[in-house]
Structure 1
């Protein structure tokens, strides 16, 4: 009988590679064998938003609210915002004895959902069509129902009954990925797995962190061992370069009924929004993808438009004053337009209030420095306070930029740094932003050394790995508080 072969990707919290392999990304994006990940992911992306909408419509009955188009619009907005802002896995954190440890994040996410709905409703007049006590009842009732539902799932579904059979498991390859998986199996008895040990062709002296009791033998003895000891689960944790050994193992195991899982060695990769997908029914693994696909793309665009319109409505007098000041203090146009890389490397024109006497946009662009002689009389001030960036909210409405994202560099700088910094161009998988994760972490202004640009890119890629609407809001708020005291911009 042919063995069943599946793919499993571990989510090691303790494994550290050259760049720490970003275990949080693996936990969130690939799911966790030791954590009923499909259920947690399903709740976060679909079930929780559905429950939010169901509670809304259920409460409409006792409050005598009509199921009309206005309620449908509110429900659609609530669904999209809940799917992005709610941390629906707060009761499914692996290996944690306090299941409500993420409750604060869940509550904060729900408050953001309410805040966005109120803002949209206020600007559009949608709030006027609903009875305030009805909305208040929904705002309180929906999160309570979600908490109760998650508690029920944890009690009933996450843990198998005591009478459930325990399956014996072995891991082929005592490497980082294999050891991380073994630790998860040991720490999560609810899986119903009994870790028996490793098979590896290396001697015990070459295996760091492995005891003699854990090493069961060489790969050649695997087939005989699983027959004698009734092994039901086999996890192959060998490097991608070991294809001949893997094929040989699968051939030896054809006479076994054990389930076989392959752990791709993604510790050699820098994962960006990695996840499983299908192309025409064929399973594929994405190791580098934009976070803005599907519903996330719509949520990102809607949030950009809403925030940009709101901010422009508030700052237009300030923009008018800056434009006049630029015009009267130095000859030349008010706006400076420079070609930058947009999403997927597409060339776009980015608007800024002119702060210099030059209009560099060629193959060589010199970054602004402290006491730069090219600055106009008010150039240093508007750069330090980021007032020169305000016209970029127009770029946001055009769809060329986002409010939050990797800051765009001049094309000349992109062509230079892409040859010097590994992974530099990955930041261009998304629209550039007016502000970004690197900027609020202190990497703003001149990058006069490769190390400074390297750190900026690291923060940009971290943003791509961990994007959420909650993170965008956090960056916007940090930008507002940090702009005036930022000493790196000139």
Structure 2
């Protein structure tokens, strides 16, 4: 438990670091290409272009929610958003250079290298950072604890999803249910206690995520649990029973 909050308590700082990292990669790689070319002397123009490109990319990436928590987005989704954001950025820069007639000031192979290799570098540092996070989570750092209220079919589905995707750093810590064992579905997951015990753990800061997976007809109890857990530091989520919802709205 003592290792859990290493990154969790600094999420805003890390989100800022992600943006700065992208900016540094975009600008520094342009400078590398310019310095490497002995025939290029217009450093200022390349620097300005790289800064305009980095700002454009950050705006596009922000609109695509690239910098949201990595726990809530898949790596494939991040790759897609990153590539689309960079493609739009390159299209914008190309149009600016072409219609302003200043493209003749730039070496084509430098721009081509910058356009093509930069997204690879942006992806590379993310892969490396994810590997570091995965190692830290394996060592017990940067993890969050999740519990589920109600051992229902959709609760079991959620539990299986959490167990299958531990790379997100969310560790499933069991079910809590008020019902007797003979009323519960067959499951490999034991009941760790009643809702009162779950509430005590949440108040002590031992739980980060509370998922309420109760049937919709138990709306009064659901409302009561939501109110009680709102007084804790845990993030509380209501997992909808889509089967019941569809029956009610069919």
Which TM-score bucket, shorter chain as reference?
A: 0.5 to 0.7
Task: Give the Å deviation of 1:42.
Answer: 6.1
Q: Please give the secondary structure, in 1, of the residue aligned with 2:57.
A: helix
Matches within 5 A, 1:83-94: 83=58, 85=60
**Residue in structure 2 matched with residue 130 of structure 1 by the alignment:** 106
Q: Conserved in 1, the CA contact under 8 Å of 2:71 and 2:169?
A: no
Q: Please give the secondary structure, in 2, of the residue aligned with 1:201.
A: coil
**Residue in structure 1 matched with residue 216 of structure 2 by the alignment:** none
Residues in 2 aligned to 1:203 and 1:126: alpha-carbon distance in whole angstroms = 76
Task: Give the Å deviation of 1:110.
Answer: 3.5
Matches within 5 A, 1:32-111: 47-63=21-37, 64-68=40-44, 70-83=45-58, 85=60, 107=83, 109-111=85-87
| Offset from partner CA, 1:437-457 (integer Å, 9 cap, x none) | xxxxxxxxxxxxxxxxxxxxx
* Residue 263 of structure 1 pairs with residue 239 of structure 2: no
Q: Conserved in 1, the CA contact under 8 Å of 2:144 and 2:208?
A: no
Greater RCO between the two (CA within 8 Å, min separation 6)? 2
Matches within 5 A, 1:295-374: none
Matches within 5 A, 1:134-283: 134-160=110-136, 162-164=138-140, 169-174=146-151, 182-190=159-167, 194-202=171-179, 211=187, 213-222=189-198, 232-233=206-207, 235-238=209-212, 242=222, 244-246=224-226, 248=228, 260-265=233-238
TM-score, length-scaled by structure 2: 0.59
Task: Give the Å deviation of 1:65.
Answer: 4.0
Gaps of 5+ in 2: 1-7, 213-218, 242-250
Give the greater-gyration-radius structure (CA). 1
Task: Quickly say closer, same or farther: Cα 1:118–1:153, change in 2 above 3 A.
Answer: same
Supply the RMSD in Å over aligned alpha carbons. Answer: 4.8
Q: Conserved in 1, the CA contact under 8 Å of 2:176 and 2:194?
A: yes
Q: Conserved in 2, the CA contact under 8 Å of 1:60 and 1:67?
A: yes
Task: Give the Å deviation of 1:149.
Answer: 1.2
Q: Please give the secondary structure, in 2, of the residue aligned with 1:164.
A: coil
Task: Give the Å deviation of 1:261.
Answer: 1.6
Q: Conserved in 2, the CA contact under 8 Å of 1:168 and 1:231?
A: no
Residues in 2 aligned to 1:102 and 1:49: alpha-carbon distance in whole angstroms = 17
Task: Give the Å deviation of 1:186.
Answer: 0.7
| Offset from partner CA, 1:421-449 (integer Å, 9 cap, x none) | xxxxxxxxxxxxxxxxxxxxxxxxxxxxx
Residues in 2 aligned to 1:52 and 1:211: alpha-carbon distance in whole angstroms = 50
| Offset from partner CA, 1:374-423 (integer Å, 9 cap, x none) | xxxxxxxxxxxxxxxxxxxxxxxxxxxxxxxxxxxxxxxxxxxxxxxxxx
Residues in 2 aligned to 1:153 and 1:159: alpha-carbon distance in whole angstroms = 10
Residues in 2 aligned to 1:168 and 1:71: alpha-carbon distance in whole angstroms = 47
TM-score, length-scaled by structure 1: 0.34
**Residue in structure 1 matched with residue 4 of structure 2 by the alignment:** none
Residues in 1 aligned to 2:32 and 2:145: alpha-carbon distance in whole angstroms = 46
